[in-house]
Amino acid sequence: MLRRRTLTLQLQVVSAAGVVAMVAGIATVSLAMYLSSHDLLVSLWVSGVAAVVSLAMATGLGVVLRRSAGRLRTAVRAVGDGELVPVASSSGSELSALAAELTSTSERLASAREEIARIDASRRELMAWISHDLRTPLAGLRAMSEALEDGVARDPANYYRQMRDQVDRLSALVDDLFELSQIQAGVLRVAAAPVPLRALLTQAAAELAPIGLPRGIRIEVDADDAEIVADARLLSRVIANLVVNAVQHSPDDSVVRVTARRRDDGRAHLTVQDTAGGIAAEQLERIFDAGWRGDPSRTPEPLVGRSAGAGLGLAIARGIVSAHDGRIEASNVAGGSRFDIHLPSRAIGEPAGA
């Protein structure tokens, strides 16, 4: 019957039940034992005063608890509305613990809302930039195909080559989007196997060397002979993305250094360092966001054999490293910037993410 009543009334009824039972028992015993009416009257007075004091204390405690519950209810409503409300300490150890937990929860919710807002803004930026990067080659393809169709192209072979380059660029962009979608969905497959560090980096540097030749940029490799357990294809993709990004921003006749060491604890440490002058502090916080570029211009700068991409390279690199249970960091060093990749130690043949 009291289930839906106020907390004060519940405390009053609980206290009254105990007090009335006690007073009734004392009165019954007194009537049976005491011979003097004076002694009986004193016993009843003492029991009555004790009953009144007990009920008054129960009522006061109920009022205090009701007020504390009201403050908690107000705070919960405010948190539900998205406000960060520090909850004052309430009466009782249980309510105090609940208030502290509510404060902590409101802080976590506020942080989560900020992260969701940042991701949503990044997603909108990505869609806008991808739309731009798709329209540019599509417009070129349309113009060249119309020129060929109308017979006004002076050098059809050159037009065909340019069209093939634009198609390759579109294909690479679609591949990046597909891989990024796998990473964000958590379904990227990592085929872990022993990988020799030096052979992996040397091969990657040899494949990427042509992109820096027109500007005299060299790619130097310094790696241990040790092996790590990773997906060679995906790890090569990470190195390629970082090196392409370094070459794109490095000055002419400079060096991009790629190093790899395996530490005593089995962890692998890979770095890609350039001499591009460093990254602005405000850009370091967003450099791994999908679709973000630090260049004022949104149009990718074509590189030999590949496009500068749509701002997805670093986001894909971070996703691949995370799929290996590792982490990637960007920092500024003397004269340039450095990307550090930390991969955990793992038993040979143990799948990544295990």
Q: Which of 70 and 252 is assigned the larger pLDDT?
A: 252
Q: How far apart are the first and last CA of the chain?
A: 54
pLDDT confidence of residue 354: 41
In angstroms, how far is CA 344 from the centroid of its own chain?
A: 20
Class of domain 119-185: mainly alpha
The amino acid present at 297, given as its one-letter code, is: S
Mean pLDDT of 211-237: 89
Q: Which of 10 and 87 is assigned the larger pLDDT?
A: 10
Q: Where are the domains of the chain?
A: 7-83, 119-185, 193-343
Mean pLDDT of 35-54: 78
Which neighbouring-strand residues pair with 330? 339
Q: Which of 81 and 320 is assigned the larger pLDDT?
A: 320
CA dihedral 89, 90, 93, 94 (to 10 degrees): -110
pLDDT confidence of residue 299: 43
Give dist(CA 151, CA 137) in Å, integer. 21
Query: Is the predicted pLDDT of residue 303 greater than 80, yes or no?
Result: no
pLDDT band at 37 (very low <50, low <70, confident <90, very high): confident
Length reported for the chain: 354
Which neighbouring-strand residues pair with 328? 341
Q: Which of 170 and 119 is assigned the larger pLDDT?
A: 170
Query: Is the predicted pLDDT of residue 304 greater than 80, yes or no?
Result: no
pLDDT confidence of residue 217: 92
- Pick among 3.30.43.10, 3.30.1330.40, 3.30.565.10, 3.40.50.1820: CATH of 193-343: 3.30.565.10
Mean pLDDT of 257-284: 86
Mean pLDDT of 9-38: 76
- The residue with tokens 């009416």 is 37
pLDDT confidence of residue 95: 67
DSSP category for residue 228: E
Query: Is the predicted pLDDT of residue 340 greater than 90, yes or no?
Result: yes
Give dist(CA 301, CA 309) in Å, integer. 8
Going from the C-alpha of 136 to that of each of 146, 170, 188, 270, 311, the distances in angstroms are: 16, 10, 29, 35, 15
Pairing of the two strands 255-262 and 218-223: parallel
CA dihedral 335, 197, 214, 328 (to 10 degrees): -50
Mean pLDDT of 318-340: 90
pLDDT confidence of residue 87: 56
Mean pLDDT of 40-69: 79
Mean pLDDT of 9-37: 76
Query: Is the predicted pLDDT of residue 272 greater than 90, yes or no?
Result: yes
Write out the DSSP string of 162-227. Answer: HHHHHHHHHHHHHHHHHHHHHHHHT------EEEEHHHHHHHHHHHHHHHHGGGT-EEEEEE-S-E
| Least confident span in 192-206, 235-249, 307-321, 323-337 | 307-321
Percent of the chain with pLDDT over 90: 11
> How many degrees, rounded to 5, is the angle at CA 221 between CA 268 and CA 344?
10
Q: pLDDT tens-digit profile of 114-160?
A: 878 877 776 776 677 677 777 878 888 888 898 888 888 888 888 88
